[in-house]
Chains A and B, each alone.
Chain A
Amino acid sequence: MNINLTIIGQAIAFFIFVVFCMKYVWPPITGALAERKKKIAEGLDAADRAERDLKLAQEKAANDMRASKEEAAAIIEQANKRATKIIEEAKEQAREEADRVKASAEAEVEQELNRAKDALRAQVGALAIAGAEKILEASIDEKAHAKLVEKLAAEL
């Protein structure tokens, strides 16, 4: 245990190792550590942002959904109204048509009836005259009694 040159040798070795460490070991490793730190920070930041974006997108989707639902409901309601209106119109038309048909049918019936009545009346007049001829056994001037027969027929 005696002090000798080793003390200086050790100091020189120490110096060399420190210089080497300072130049070639410390900077790259701490640099990488700092860079990783930055990367992690950026990653966390990106994750935060993504989360925020997701939330926004979800809100937007929900809004869109609600809006389209409302729109759909409005459209359906409108369609319903329109359908009701069409049905009402159709009903009205049908009723009018039916009335018209009924009226024309009634008119025709009336006409037919009048025609039948006229025919009947004519036949009744002829029958009455024939009956009267038979009863009276005499010929009656058809022309002279036509007025009478018509009057009789009108009374029927």
Chain B
Amino acid sequence: MASENPTSSEYISHHLSNLTFGNHPTEGWTFAGGEKAAEMGFWAINVDTMFFSILMGMVFIWLFRKVADSVTSDVPGNLQNFIESVIEFVDSNVKSIFHHKNPVIAPLALTVFVWIFLMNSLKLIPVDFIPYIAGEMGIPYWKIVPTTDINATMGMSISVFFLIIFYSIKVKGVSGFAAELSLQPLGKYFIPFNLFLEVVNLLAKPISLGLRLFGNMYAGEIIFILIALLPFWAQWVLSVPWAIFHILVITLQAFIFMVLTIVYLAMAHDEH
């Protein structure tokens, strides 16, 4: 906890602060949150976001690798059955959207879907639970849901953005990609206008992709925190329905991120 008896606004801003490690202008290399973290500028890292995103990524890799290790084409076990249904779900989505040959897309979509789902699902842990334990251990800030950190969502969407550019150039060549950016929608006499329109269109993809996930998760997290401000005996009235609703939101946001990633990459492969 930031102070012994925080006000509501202190409580909220504390719960929305990441634990950041970086070089503070006055305090040197240190862990910080809130204002101090902002003063560290770009060259600082959100330790909690990285920890939980990598932890969830490890869970994903461990679980799926475990199944892949012992996978059998005979009668599958329970876990294999579950993993297979996830894979078939992702695969059918990829096959229905992406009609080119690229071995990267399906594993990418699977990683996006499961990883984001796992990161989002951390949200269902009560908001005070982990920060309280961390506080008892002397850690001042600890935000557990990586997808409520804009760095995490933008990090992923920008990776997707680079993939879009990479495959656009790989499939169409530099000139083809340049032509796509400049010669449509209005033909060669409006190149500056076309270029402006297409670049905005291109940049809007990663920004909307990252901000959509971040916005949804962040807003949901704020509601959870607000509910947590209620008297303890009244919280369940709101937090339980909200958590149940979030089971849907968590899955849906992971699904949307996955589908949009596939769609953008399919567009990058399409010749116009």
CB interface residues, B 136-195, toward A, < 8 Å: 146, 149-152, 154-156, 158-159
Contact A39 to B73, CB < 8 A, known contacts A3-B42, A4-B40, A29-B64: yes
The winner among A10, A17, A35 for most chain B CB atoms within 10 A is A10
Chain A contact surface mostly = helix
CB distance from A71 to the nearest CB of B (A): 50
> Does residue A138 face the partner (Cβ distance < 8 Å to B)?
no
CB distance from A36 to the nearest CB of B (A): 4
CB nearest neighbor in A for B161 = A11
Contact A5 to B44, CB < 8 A, known contacts A15-B159, A17-B115: yes
Cα–Cα, bound, A35→B74 (Å):
9
CB of B65 within 8 A of CB of A2, answer no
- Interface size classification for chain B: 35 or more
> Does residue B25 face the partner (Cβ distance < 8 Å to A)?
no
> Does residue B43 face the partner (Cβ distance < 8 Å to A)?
yes
Chain B contact surface mostly = helix
Cα–Cα, bound, A49→B104 (Å):
40
Residues of B within 8 A of A14 (CB): 111, 115, 155-156, 159
Cross-chain contact of B88 among A7, A8, A18, A33 (Cβ < 8 A): A33
A–B pairs, 12, beta carbons within 8 Å: A1-B149, A3-B150, A4-B37, A4-B44, A6-B50, A7-B155, A10-B154, A14-B155, A14-B159, A17-B111, A21-B107, A32-B71
Interface residues of B, Cβ cutoff 8 Å to A: 16, 18, 20, 22, 37-38, 40-46, 49-50, 53-54, 57, 60-61, 64-65, 67-69, 71-74, 83-84, 87-88, 91, 103-104, 106-108, 110-111, 115, 146, 149-152, 154-156, 158-159
